[in-house]
Amino acid sequence: MNIIDELKWRGAVNQTSDEEGLKKLTEEKSIGIYCGVDPTGDSLHIGHLIPFIMLKRFQMAGHRAHILIGGGTGSIGDPSGKKAERVLQSMEQVHHNEQRLTDQMEHLFGRDNITIVNNHEWLSQIDLLSFLRDYGKLFNVNTMLNKEVVASRLEVGISFTEFTYQILQSIDFYHLYKYNDVQLQIGGGDQWGNITAGIDMIHKIEGNNAKAFALTIPLMLKADGTKFGKTEGGAIWLDPEKTTPYEFYQFWLNQDDRDVVKYLKYFTFLDHEEIDGLAEKVKNEPEKREAQKRLAEEVTSFVHGKDAVEQAEHISRALFSGEVKDLNAEEIEQGFKNMPTVETSIVKENIIEWLVNTKIEKSKRQAREDVTNGAIYINGDRIRDLNFEVDPAKAFEGRFVIARRGKKRYFLAKVVD
């Protein structure tokens, strides 16, 4: 199947500038494709993954993938999706973010058949007069104003700096077309105006027969109409320090039956037959949640590796069964990150005193009642002895005590000096 037909089957194509021309070119030869990201933060989130997953598909189909880190454009700010001007970051912060994003891209894409570039290399070399004479003359202000990314900001205002962003992105496309043999730029739907501006620039400089194409992906919405990728806790990051692999795995595992097949098509590299089989299971045996489990396994493995999947599944089994003693300190830190947290000292303490001092129980009377009734667990063990001593040094490298009240009410007690 042609790569464009494959993307369409996966529901991943929103707009193309010349679909038939692009299909023909991809069948004739290995083409160059690029997708860019500005270093406005020090990590990608799963919203960024959507176009880069498409780039990965081209790479796997034998085409030449290029990732552009926008060290130049990121220093001024893309107006796309913003209702007001961005706050400019220091160049020191931009450079820090560049390196972090480059590391993430190398982890996701490897080093084979992939080129990572930074537009600061060429944009920083253009002086003001050259910018105005060589590039500014190619752009009509009326046309620029009609681009959705600019038009949406006219009511509240847009600076000249952000207004010129589409020119800079066009220079990027032209530079990669000329020096890296790149014919296709892919991006989110909000990038259509910027990408097509680049195609117009290439045609004005190189002639209308120059083969340059645009492909954008649809806006990802959940079945309930809300934006994909946001949770009550905020964005789901690819950086394991911001979103642990366990949290990442759980995010995918908890997807709605109405969305899971769409996400299998978008975010995994499973073939048609396997996805169709999982779709049947969603329809006929939704309670087994096999599609969600496969989704969580595949995406977590792609982003964090197979070991992270095994660890996430281990944490999930331990929390479900209550056998938390089987977890190590790192797994405790991941699995209990968003659970109620209290502090405790390293000193041994009577169970009743400990429960009250950590505020897990409101009173000694309630604590004694819960212990006597077998409702209290410490590090996975049920405690019925009113004279039991909690020893924080005994488990999890002396860093944590795990308390459970009832069937599912967990508390993480962090040991402090």
- Sequence-ordered alpha helix ranges (H) in 285-328: 290-304, 306-321
| C-alpha gyration radius of the chain | 26
Assess whether 334 carries a catalytic annotation: no
Assess whether 259 carries a catalytic annotation: no
Query: Residue 330 domain-assigned?
Result: no
Residues 130 and 157 in one domain: yes
Residues 212 and 102 in one domain: yes
User: Which CATH number fits the domain that encloses residue 34?
Assistant: 3.40.50.620
Separation of alpha carbons 54 and 172, rounded Å: 20
Separation of alpha carbons 377 and 389, rounded Å: 13
Please give the pLDDT value at position 50. Answer: 87
Residues 161 and 36 in one domain: yes
Instruction: Out of 16, 40, 344, 358, pick the active-site residue.
Output: 40
Strand 400-405 to 376-378 pairing? antiparallel
Given pLDDT bands bounded at 50, 70 and 90, which one contains residue 233? Answer: low
Above 70 in pLDDT, residue 231?
Answer: no
Residues 308 and 358 in one domain: no
Count of domains forming the chain: 3
The last residue of one of the domains, among 194, 217, 240, is: 217
Assess whether 190 carries a catalytic annotation: yes
Residues 402 and 297 in one domain: no
pLDDT tens track for 119-173: 999 999 999 999 999 999 999 999 888 888 788 888 888 889 889 999 999 999 9
Given pLDDT bands bounded at 50, 70 and 90, which one contains residue 79? Answer: confident
Mean pLDDT of 61-78: 91
Residues 131 and 264 in one domain: no
**For 21-35, 189-203, 228-242, 346-360, which range has the lowest pLDDT when averaged over its residues?**
228-242
The last residue of one of the domains, among 321, 351, 379, is: 321
User: Which CATH number fits the domain that encloses residue 256?
Assistant: 1.10.240.10
**For 17-31, 76-90, 355-369, 385-399, which range has the lowest pLDDT when averaged over its residues?**
76-90
Residues 132 and 83 in one domain: yes
Residues annotated in a binding site: 34, 165, 169, 230
Q: Which amino acid is at 18?
A: D
Assess whether 45 carries a catalytic annotation: yes
Query: Residue 122 domain-assigned?
Result: yes
Query: Residue 331 domain-assigned?
Result: no
**What range defines the domain where residue 346 resides?**
341-415
pLDDT tens track for 399-416: 999 999 988 789 999 999
The last residue of one of the domains, among 217, 239, 264, is: 217
Assess whether 169 carries a catalytic annotation: yes
Given pLDDT bands bounded at 50, 70 and 90, which one contains residue 81? Answer: low
Mean pLDDT of 318-332: 88
Separation of alpha carbons 303 and 236, rounded Å: 12
Instruction: Out of 8, 86, 281, 405, pick the active-site residue.
Output: 86
Query: Residue 329 domain-assigned?
Result: no
Query: Residue 258 domain-assigned?
Result: yes
Please give the pLDDT value at position 190. Answer: 85
Beta strand spans in 119-207 (E): 182-188
Residues 205 and 70 in one domain: yes
Assess whether 57 carries a catalytic annotation: no
Structural tokens at position 336: 């209990």
User: Which CATH number fits the domain that encloses residue 380?
Assistant: 3.10.290.10
Residues 245 and 165 in one domain: no
Q: Which of 60, 8, 1 is nearest to 215 (CA)?
A: 8
Residues annotated in a binding site for ATP: 230
Residues 358 and 317 in one domain: no
Query: Residue 223 domain-assigned?
Result: no
Instruction: Out of 24, 29, 227, 283, pick the active-site residue.
Output: 227
Q: Which of 261, 243, 342, 262 is nearest to 300 (CA)?
A: 243
Q: Which of 155, 60, 166, 162 is nearest to 109 (CA)?
A: 60
Beta strand spans in 227-357 (E): 230-231, 234-235, 341-344, 349-350
Q: Which residues are CB-neighbours of 384 under 8 A, at least 6 positions away?
A: 371, 372, 374
Residue 175 to residues 59, 270, 301: CA-CA distances in angstroms?
20, 35, 34
The model carries a pTM of 0.87
Mean pLDDT of 326-353: 91
Residues 36 and 146 in one domain: yes
Burial of 273 (0-12, 13-18, 19+ CB in 10 A): exposed
Please give the pLDDT value at position 417. Answer: 77
Q: Which amino acid is at 82?
A: K
Query: Residue 368 domain-assigned?
Result: yes
Q: Would you give the end-to-end CA distance of the chain in angstroms?
A: 62
Assess whether 408 carries a catalytic annotation: no
Above 80 in pLDDT, residue 78?
Answer: no
% of the chain beyond a pLDDT of 90: 74
Residues 406 and 266 in one domain: no
Instruction: Out of 169, 243, 344, 358, pick the active-site residue.
Output: 169
